[in-house]
């Protein structure tokens, strides 16, 4: 039997076991926290992949002009740059102005024709008819439109004071949306007469629009 001044071996053993269990419990809690973080990351990745893919696992149809996910936008552009190098610029009549990234419409055109190229050569869904359509119609159409959008543009035009440094285009006369909607829904045979102010604003918009086109 231990003396009064010596610790009881049973108590010592129990204390050590409590310490061991405490350390084990702490380590388990830390591991559970790590697993929870990992599961959250996986869930985010799955959600991202689901947003990018259609129901059969193929890439979903997404417009570049409506992109709000910065990482997704960067991934799209990285993929597009590689494809432009390997495919688009191999054609002698390919159009790619140096300021193409500064033209959202050009990026949209290049991205959809890139995706159409991938679909045409898809191992399951691709057909020679799609390949022919891409070469005969889709690619030449994009070349023609990019030439019209920015064929003679250069990056300097986007610098401070350049011709391309203008506010983003605005939809004209949006204040008339409610009255047009109400009139169409309730009196489809009637005609909404624009006010003089709306006519002047429309003329200003048309003048600015035609100057940009000139």
Q: Tens digits of per-residue pLDDT, 129-182? A: 999 999 999 999 999 999 998 878 888 888 876 666 666 678 888 888 888 888
Structure tokens at 109: 């055109």
Residue 90 inside a domain? The answer is yes
**pLDDT at residue 4 is higher than 80:** no
159-188 per-residue burial string, b: 16 or more CB within 10 A, e: under 16: eeeeeeeeeeeeeeeeeeeeeeeeeeeeee
At which residue do the structure tokens 């009139």 appear? 183
Residue 164 inside a domain? The answer is no
What 3-state DSSP class applies to 53? strand
Burial bucket for residue 133 (CB in 10 Å: 0-12, 13-18, 19+): middle
Residue 169 inside a domain? The answer is no
Residue 76 inside a domain? The answer is yes
How many angstroms separate the CA atoms of 75 and 51, rounded? 13
**pLDDT at residue 209 is higher than 90:** no
State the pLDDT at residue 94.
94
Host domain of residue 23: 1-52
Same domain, 124 and 89: yes
State the pLDDT at residue 44.
55
Angle among Cα 107, 110, 111 to the nearest 5 degrees reads 80
How many angstroms separate the CA atoms of 146 and 152, rounded? 10
Domain count, the chain: 3
The whole-number average pLDDT for the span 19-36 is 76
Same domain, 8 and 73: no
CA 171 from chain centre, in angstroms, equals 22
Segment among 42-51, 181-190, 194-203 with least mean pLDDT = 42-51
């Amino acid at each position: 039997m231990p003396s009064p001044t010596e610790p009881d071996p049973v108590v010592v053993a129990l204390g050590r076991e409590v310490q061991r269990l405490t350390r084990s419990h702490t380590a388990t809690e830390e591991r559970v926290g790590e697993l929870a973080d990992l599961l959250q990351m996986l869930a985010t990745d799955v959600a991202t992949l689901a947003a990018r893919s259609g129901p059969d696992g193929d890439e979903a149809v997404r417009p570049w002009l409506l992109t709000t996910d910065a990482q997704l936008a960067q991934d799209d552009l990285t993929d597009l740059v590689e494809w432009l190098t390997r495919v688009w610029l191999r054609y002698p009549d390919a159009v790619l102005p140096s300021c193409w990234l500064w033209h959202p419409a050009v990026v949209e055109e290049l991205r959809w024709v890139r995706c159409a190229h991938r679909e045409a050569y898809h191992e399951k869904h691709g057909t020679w008819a799609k390949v022919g359509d891409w070469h005969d119609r889709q690619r030449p159409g994009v070349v023609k439109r990019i030439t019209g959008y920015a064929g003679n543009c250069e990056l300097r035009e986007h610098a401070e004071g350049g011709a391309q440094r203008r506010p983003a285009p605005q939809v004209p006369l949006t204040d008339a949306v409610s009255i047009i909607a109400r009139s169409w829904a309730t009196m489809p045979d009637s005609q909404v007469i624009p006010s003089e102010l709306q006519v002047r604003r429309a003329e200003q918009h048309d003048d600015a629009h035609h100057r940009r086109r000139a």
